């Protein structure tokens, strides 16, 4: 049985994603690594990043130990999603390291809108949603050594054809095939990577932050959040140049860092 399952997984990899399939659509010069199964594409990227001399895409059909923000588990169905990490080459401006998650959000949402014809939005700071249901999670990781950025990794997981979600997230998540069954994961991966690299390396004025705000599912809506251990409710009024969320509670503005709180939307 195990052999049959592994063969099915291997066939699915050939059908879903491949090195040549991704490279066919890729504009930028980047290495591409594709695996049947990894514990985590981000974990593998961390292992090899210090040795890389250019941007590298690490993709896998299956992730057995993927994590989201704050070490939370991230659901990855076997062969049901597009899971990949981009280990970026040298970043010329450290501001771009801080804004790589918003850039990835724009890259994913724009691709889903343009390529798949769905109304994808960004839930601050690292989720992409359709109708307020999560379709994609983004996890960026970096490491500094002696004040020098040693690596910068962006992990992306998109639900493509999830048969059924775990009960605890069933009403909070969605899958692309429920909105548009016609897609090529190879093209999706390449277009996201190209768009991300365009923003990080070529967008000198960080114009993509305007697009990030335009695509936001959070702005001008009430949100619940915590500050200093106190639960608060306010209106998300802006996303500043550093990617922080500005929430108005009464006559006070709260500047919320992505690592500080989780946001709950209120319809």
pLDDT digits (tens), the chain, 267 positions: 333 333 344 444 444 799 999 999 999 999 999 999 999 999 999 999 988 989 999 999 888 875 555 545 555 666 789 999 999 987 767 778 889 999 999 999 999 999 999 999 999 999 999 999 999 999 999 988 777 788 899 999 999 999 888 888 889 999 999 999 899 999 999 999 999 999 999 998 999 999 999 999 999 999 988 887 888 999 999 999 999 999 999 999 999 987 655 677 776
Q: What is the reported pLDDT for 11?
A: 40
CATH architecture designation of domain 2-214: 2-Layer Sandwich (3.30)
Interior CA angle at 24 toward 23 and 26, to 5°?
55
Sign of CA dihedral 47, 49, 52, 56: positive
Q: What is the reported pLDDT for 133?
A: 95
**Are the CB atoms for 200 and 100 separated by under 8 Å?**
yes
DSSP 117: -
What are the residue ranges of CATH 2.30.30 in the chain? 222-266
**Are the CB atoms for 231 and 138 separated by under 8 Å?**
no
**Are the CB atoms for 122 and 128 separated by under 8 Å?**
yes
Q: What is the reported pLDDT for 260?
A: 53
- Asked if the peptide bond before residue 238 counts as cis, ω within 30 degrees of 0, the response is no
What are the residue ranges of CATH 3.30.930.10 in the chain? 2-214
User: Which residues face 123 on adjacent strands?
Assistant: 127
Residue 167: enclosing H or E segment and its boundaries?
A: none
What span, in angstroms and rounded, lies between the C-alpha atoms of 7 and 24?
Answer: 25
**Are the CB atoms for 152 and 142 separated by under 8 Å?**
yes
Residues 6+ apart with CB under 8 A from 229: none
Let me know if domain 222-266 sits in CATH 1.10.10. Answer: no
pTM: 0.89
């Amino acid at each position: 049985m195990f052999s049959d399952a592994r063969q099915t997984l291997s066939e699915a990899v050939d059908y879903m994603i491949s090195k040549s399939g991704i490279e066919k659509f890729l504009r930028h010069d980047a290495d591409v690594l594709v695996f049947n199964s990894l514990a985590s594409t981000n974990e593998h990227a961390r292992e090899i990043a210090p040795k890389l001399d250019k941007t590298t895409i690490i993709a896998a059909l299956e992730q057995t130990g993927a994590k989201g923000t704050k070490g939370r588990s991230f659901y990855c169905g076997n062969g049901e999603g597009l899971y990949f990490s981009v280990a970026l080459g040298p970043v010329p401006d450290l501001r771009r390291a801080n804004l790589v998650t918003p850039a990835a959000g724009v890259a994913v949402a724009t691709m889903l809108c343009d390529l798949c014809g769905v109304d994808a939005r960004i839930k601050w700071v690292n989720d992409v949603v359709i109708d307020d249901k999560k379709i994609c999670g983004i996890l960026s990781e970096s490491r500094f050594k002696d004040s020098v950025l040693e690596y910068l990794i962006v992990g992306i997981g998109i639900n493509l054809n999830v048969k059924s979600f775990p009960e605890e997230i069933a009403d909070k998540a969605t899958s692309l095939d429920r909105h548009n069954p016609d897609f090529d994961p190879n093209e999706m991966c390449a277009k996201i990577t190209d768009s991300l690299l365009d923003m990080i390396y070529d967008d000198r004025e960080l114009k993509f932050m305007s697009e990030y705000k335009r695509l936001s599912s959070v702005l001008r809506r009430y949100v619940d959040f915590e500050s200093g251990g106190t639960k608060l409710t306010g209106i998300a009024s802006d996303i500043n140049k550093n990617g922080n969320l500005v929430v108005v509670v009464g006559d006070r503005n709260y500047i919320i860092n992505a690592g500080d709180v989780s946001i709950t939307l209120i319809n």
